[in-house]
Structure 1
């Protein structure tokens, strides 16, 4: 049994209307997807998706001819590659999908088999006016979601806070609310400094008064002391870690008691195997593990299997903000979009691997030489 071939393809779905992501001032006119396919000598194929994987061709030789089931070895190699190049974790997802297909088991069973069912919260991505945000909140509540995440970053903090207050006034406690402050990282051209501890504390007090479930990334991702002090000073849960990469960084966040909620994404950090270990450590420490999933449906499904199969969590991120961010746009590489039931749950199947089927016609129609947003 050996890996025989690795194929990386890029795709771009035109977006009309564009998607005005709250974290990017340039509306996105295309949605890029990079797809990784890993083949073995029996004809099985594992799929993964995430970062663009530029330059990964230089490292493929470290996997060809290797046992596809040697997942710990592959994760260690990918960690070394990440040190020298970009984030290669879509390869890890493809390897886990392939392993599941070889073994005839879904990934959620391979990582622990705790459960095949997990509840989702709706994660918005557009800065809409107050009245439209209230309509969105009503819509996701009627659809069965237990919670909604609101993005900050409007021209003024008061505008952001007005959105939270209006949703709370309209729906009361019927819908849990989370707030993503987006201070942990920046787009390459955004040189604004992140909030100081004093600024974050001011916002936290306001969000506490609105009964917000968690406050996400209120400080720079590396401000361990700031996070520690913020957690000591407030009662609201503090979330972060979506773009944290190294195991030692997560250890710092844990040992310094920086976060209540850990949000690393399997296609961005440590892969499925690495995050499985971290999730167990987080749960043992009495904290919440619930990944960031903002991307396409392949990455979403990888995080669903990882989390449902490993630890108990109140809910997991489900990117959803129609019409600009619909299920059909998000999951265009797939024959069937991932969706929740009427109570906001997603039930994973017994299909081997991630249980996904690609829409090859759509992938052919959207094929591109590169992966860019505009």
Structure 2
């Protein structure tokens, strides 16, 4: 089997009303996704997706004519491209989808097959009033969720803590609460300071009293030693790593014992191939692997395959904050929208590959750019 062509298409979904992401002061009026298709001489096509994939286009020729099963070689080439340009791991996801289809196996079985399901935690995206967040938490419980994540980003962190207090008062211990402090990375125009170790510790102490399951990104993603110190100072789990793009970052984070929960996203920082290496590394030392999944439904699905196959963490992130962030918005490129079952699980089928079924009508409606590279 040989790769004959790589097809890259970009899609843009208008958002009306806009999505007011906690980490972005500018309401988001559009949601971009990329679909990558890897075609072969045997008629099998692999599908992957991520963000706008700006760093990959122009390098497709490095894969044309190659055997798609040479995944370690392909991952190394993508890793090299990623260093020079930007996130381009959608191709790795498409190759795993292709290998699954070629062997007639779902990807999670190729990766280890530990399980075919994981509990989802409802990962909220907006800043809303404490009473509104508490009402939505009640709805999550009714839908089967056993955990949720609240994002911080008020000007005064005490207002963020009030949200957690209100939710805890409303739901008691019926649902686990994670907190994302969003201090790990910044939007391009954001020049404000981030938390220092002392502030992170003070917040962690407050959240520990509220029974918070983990505190995510309490310090900048490059402050490995600060994260390690914070982890030693507090009893709450410290999570992070979603925007650490290079393998050596995770080697050093793990060496320092910086995190309890490691969150590399297969669509953004390593693909399935390199992220599995990270998961194996950190879990061998007793930490958890629970990937960030906030791209689109295909990204969630790809992360689910790897996490179900290898993760010891009981939960997987599920971007969900209706009505502003719904299944239809997140999964607009997919025919079958992802949903949790009545017990709060995300389930994988035994369909070969990643089990992706595209919504061709939506793709035709929202397409805005197309790149196709085949054999010369």
Q: Are 1:248 and 2:243 counterparts?
A: no
* Match in the other structure for 1:73: 73
Contact 2:267–2:295 under 8 Å retained in 1: no
Structure 1 CA distance, aligned partners of 2:280 and 2:179? 25
* Match in the other structure for 1:124: 124
SS of 1:312's partner is coil
Contact 2:237–2:260 under 8 Å retained in 1: yes
* Match in the other structure for 1:203: 203
Structure 2 CA distance, aligned partners of 1:289 and 1:84? 27
* Match in the other structure for 1:149: 149
Q: How does 1:144-293 map to 2 (within 5 A)?
A: 144-293=144-293
Q: How does 1:1-374 map to 2 (within 5 A)?
A: 1-369=1-369
Structure 1 CA distance, aligned partners of 2:251 and 2:192? 28
The structural deviation recorded for 1:146 is 0.7
List alignment gaps of at least 5 residues for structure 2.
371-376
Structure 2 CA distance, aligned partners of 1:343 and 1:261? 23
Query: Once the two structures are superposed, what CA deviation does each residue of 1:2-56 show, in whole Å capped at 9, x if it has no partner?
Result: 0001011111111111100010001011111111111011111111111312252
Contact 2:54–2:88 under 8 Å retained in 1: no
Query: Once the two structures are superposed, what CA deviation does each residue of 1:147-197 show, in whole Å capped at 9, x if it has no partner?
Result: 110000012111100000001111111111010000000010011122110
Structure 1 CA distance, aligned partners of 2:304 and 2:53? 22
SS of 2:57's partner is helix
Structure 2 CA distance, aligned partners of 1:180 and 1:45? 37
- Identify which range, 144-153 or 51-60, moves more after superposition: 51-60
The structural deviation recorded for 1:115 is 1.1
Structure 2 CA distance, aligned partners of 1:23 and 1:312? 29
Structure 1 CA distance, aligned partners of 2:324 and 2:137? 16
Contact 2:48–2:92 under 8 Å retained in 1: yes
Structure 1 CA distance, aligned partners of 2:252 and 2:282? 12
Paired residue total: 370
Query: Once the two structures are superposed, what CA deviation does each residue of 1:99-139 show, in whole Å capped at 9, x if it has no partner?
Result: 11111110001111111111110000010111100011101
List alignment gaps of at least 5 residues for structure 1.
none
Query: Once the two structures are superposed, what CA deviation does each residue of 1:303-331 show, in whole Å capped at 9, x if it has no partner?
Result: 00011012222100000000110001100
